[in-house]
Homo-oligomer: A and B are copies of this chain.
Amino acid sequence: MTKINMRTDLALETREQYKQDNVEISGVILEENKVDGGDIKITTVIIENEHGEKAMKKPKGNYVTIEAMGLREIDDAKRYSITKTLKEELKKLIKNDSGKRVLVVGLGNRDATPDALGPRVIKEIEIGSSIYAIAPGVMAQTGMETAEYIHALVKEMSPDLIIAVDALAARKVNRLNTTIQISDTGICPGSGVGNHRKEISKRTLGIPVISIGVPTVVDAATIVNDAMDKLIEVLSASAAFESLKSSMENMDMYEKYQLIKEILEPAGGDMYVTPKDIDENVKNLSIILSDAINMALN
B-binding residues in A (CB < 8 A) = 69, 72, 111-113, 122-123, 127-129, 131-137, 140-144, 148-149, 151-153, 155-157, 172-174, 176, 220, 223-228, 230-232, 234-235, 240-241, 243-244, 247, 259-260, 262-264, 266-280
B72 close to A268 (CB less than 8 A): yes
| Least CB distance, A125 to chain B, in whole angstroms | 9
Given contacts A131-B143, A152-B155, 11 further A-B contacts (CB under 8 A): A152-B152, A155-B156, A173-B266, A173-B267, A223-B227, A223-B264, A223-B273, A231-B231, A241-B244, A271-B274, A273-B273
**Copies per complex?**
4
Report the bound CA distance from A223 to B227 in whole Å.
9
A144 close to B173 (CB less than 8 A): no
Report the bound CA distance from A230 to B259 in whole Å.
7
Question: Which residue, of A143, A152, A226, A232, has the highest number of chain B Cβ atoms within 10 A?
Answer: A143
Report the bound CA distance from A143 to B105 in whole Å.
12
19 contacts between A and B (CB under 8 A): A112-B277, A122-B141, A123-B141, A129-B143, A133-B141, A144-B157, A152-B152, A152-B155, A152-B157, A173-B266, A173-B267, A174-B267, A230-B263, A240-B243, A269-B277, A270-B275, A272-B273, A272-B274, A272-B275
Closest to A156 in B: B152
Partner of A151, one of B127, B156, B173, B267: B156
- A142 and B132 contact, Cβ closer than 8 Å, known pairs A228-B228, A244-B235, A277-B269: yes
B266 close to A174 (CB less than 8 A): yes
- A155 and B157 contact, Cβ closer than 8 Å, known pairs A173-B266, A241-B241: no
Partner of A128, one of B127, B133, B143, B270: B143
